[in-house]
Amino acid sequence: MSGERILVADDRRENLLFLANSVLRPEGYDVITAVDGKQALDKALAERPDLIITDLKMPRMSGLDLMAALRKAGADTPVILTTFYGSEQTAIQAFRLGARDYIIKPYDVKEMLESVERALIERRLRRETSDLQEDIKVSEHLEERVRQLHSLCGIGHALTSLRDPDEVMRVAVEAAIYLTEAEGGQLLLLASGTDQLEVRAIRGPADVRARCVQQRSTDRLASQVARTGRAVIAERENDGEKGASRLAVPLRLHDQVMGVLGVDAKASRPFGENDRYQLGLLASFVAAAVSNAQVIEELRSKVSAEPASPPAPGKDSEEVAAVINEGRELARELQKMAATAQALAEKLQARTGARGAAG
């Protein structure tokens, strides 16, 4: 396979030029050279060649010393050792250090090219196996992301269909715990006309389901998120000791923070960036659904207070329509993201299937 990079190390210029220019480059290989063992080591570690062909006896570092140094550095580059002065003991030592071949000079060009091809085939197979495993991991990750996005779509539709603010907040906490596999969760809203957070729905580790409350919050992390408008992952403290992680994201509507959605991790499963991503998407639905339910509740109160004269269409009904449309738009965007991720996953599955069949 042309284009693969081979490092050739030899202190004899005529040997170096012959191997590089008359044997390897005509076959399409990219060749780099070194005139002693130390230079070869530096280039091997810096340029990561696909193969090293080194002479046994060189200044500053022998071929065997070069192989030992590469092994110590964790480099797994295949090595072919060449020498004018072969011996059984040297060959044994070379193979113990991981040499792929041991060639006595003068060698036949065909013999050298066959040795090079054998060494590179092994490396290609290892690389393709590694790429295949990586593709499988990426495909599995994408499939998991598709499942998560579809779950979020379903949760979003459910939330935006609810009309009771308390029920919206309770379901939001349940959804947050479900999506992040958390131990507990809370939803907090800013009290009307203030910057003070109130806990409005909560579920602790011992609770069977989330419950609605209305109590002043002393949660410093939630206050930070409400003030800055930025999601935060932090360690929670238990009696002064650091514990499992916490995740809090802002509830934002029309670029204004209206509250905070937070979850507490299980000790065995700390939060990561994917949890932050999912909770952030959920928070968009929650903010729209809470606002929607609150506006509808206000309209119902007005209708109850003035039963003889139902309100004419105006600002309130326009606000309801705007919030409902925002929820629907969020759902459409999530469906697009899920479709894109699904397409990528299918492409990777096809690619890994084709590679498996070829193997």
pLDDT at 134: 64
- Mean pLDDT value across residues 22-34: 92
Task: Flag whether 26 is in a domain.
Answer: yes
Distance of alpha carbon 184 from alpha carbon 287, whole angstroms = 20
Residue 184 counted as domain residue: yes
> Are residue 270 and residue 218 in the same domain, yes or no?
yes
The last residue of a domain, from among 107, 133, 152: 107
Reported residue count of the chain is 359
Same domain flag for 165 and 209: yes
Q: Are residues 96 and 147 in the same domain?
A: no
User: Could you tell me if 146 and 295 lie in one domain?
Assistant: yes
Range of the domain at 70: 5-107
How many CB atoms within 10 Å of residue 155?
A: 23
327-331: average pLDDT: 57
CA separation for the pair 167, 189 (Å, rounded): 14
Query: Which CATH number does the domain housing residue 93 bear?
Result: 3.40.50.2300
* 149 shares a domain with 71: no
Domain count, the chain: 2
- In this predicted structure, the answer to whether residue 221 has a pLDDT above a threshold of 70 is yes
> Is the omega angle on the peptide bond into residue 106 within 30 degrees of 0, that is, cis?
yes
Same domain, 88 and 150: no
Query: Is pLDDT of 273 > 70?
Result: yes
Q: How many CA atoms lie within 13 A of 259 on its CB side?
A: 27
Indicate if the pLDDT at residue 46 is higher than 80: yes
What is the percent of the chain where pLDDT is above 90? 36
Q: What is the pLDDT of residues 146-186, one digit of tens each?
A: 666 666 777 776 777 788 899 999 999 999 999 899 999 99
Specify whether 33 is located in the same domain as 154. Answer: no
Contact 176, 182 (CB under 8 A): yes
pTM value? 0.52
Q: Is residue 36 part of a domain?
A: yes
91 located within any domain? yes
**Rounded to whole angstroms, how far apart are CA atoms 190 and 188?**
7
Tens-place pLDDT, residues 84-117 = 876 667 788 888 888 888 888 888 898 899 888 8
* pLDDT surpasses 60 at 315: no
